[in-house]
Amino acid sequence: MRALEVLADAKPSLAKRIPAEAFVRLLRSGAWSDHNKASLLLVALTKSRDPKVLTLLRIEALDPLVEMARWRSLGHAEAALSILGRIAGLEEDSLDKLIEAGQADTIINKVIRQ
């Protein structure tokens, strides 16, 4: 998954060819490493804000993403916060500022209220 994440981040055209479904399912896994690695790949896959991927994440993984976004370590929560912000339609600059300021609840509330 790490290799796919690096490739998808480097080549957006490749990211479009990676099916998100299998990695979305990993967000419901009981293993922390599955959550961590899948969320990093999904950050790369949501960079283009493909409506199909964002809808899939909203329907299939909103609860685990919210749980991950509330993790105390920003380094571990950041991927989920980025994905949630993209689902909510936040602009990247605004989203980055909210994450840097530790405003997880603002991002979570924005996506939940939609």
pLDDT in tens, the chain (114 residues): 889 888 888 888 888 889 999 899 999 998 989 999 999 999 999 999 999 999 999 999 999 999 999 999 999 999 999 999 999 999 999 999 999 999 999 999 999 998
Q: What is the pLDDT of residue 7?
A: 87
Q: What is the pLDDT of residue 114?
A: 83
Q: What is the pLDDT of residue 108?
A: 98
**C-beta neighbour count of 43 within 10 angstroms:** 19
- pTM for this entry: 0.93
Backbone angles phi, psi at 21, to 5 degrees: -55, -50
Q: What is the pLDDT of residue 77?
A: 96
41 within 8 A of 5, measured Cβ to Cβ: yes
The backbone region for 89, taken as left when phi is positive above 0, alpha when psi lies in -120 to 50, beta otherwise, is: left
Q: What is the pLDDT of residue 37?
A: 93
Q: What is the pLDDT of residue 76?
A: 92
- Between CA 16 and CA 79, with CA 112 as vertex, the angle to 5 degrees is 45
Q: What is the pLDDT of residue 30?
A: 87
Q: What is the pLDDT of residue 14?
A: 86
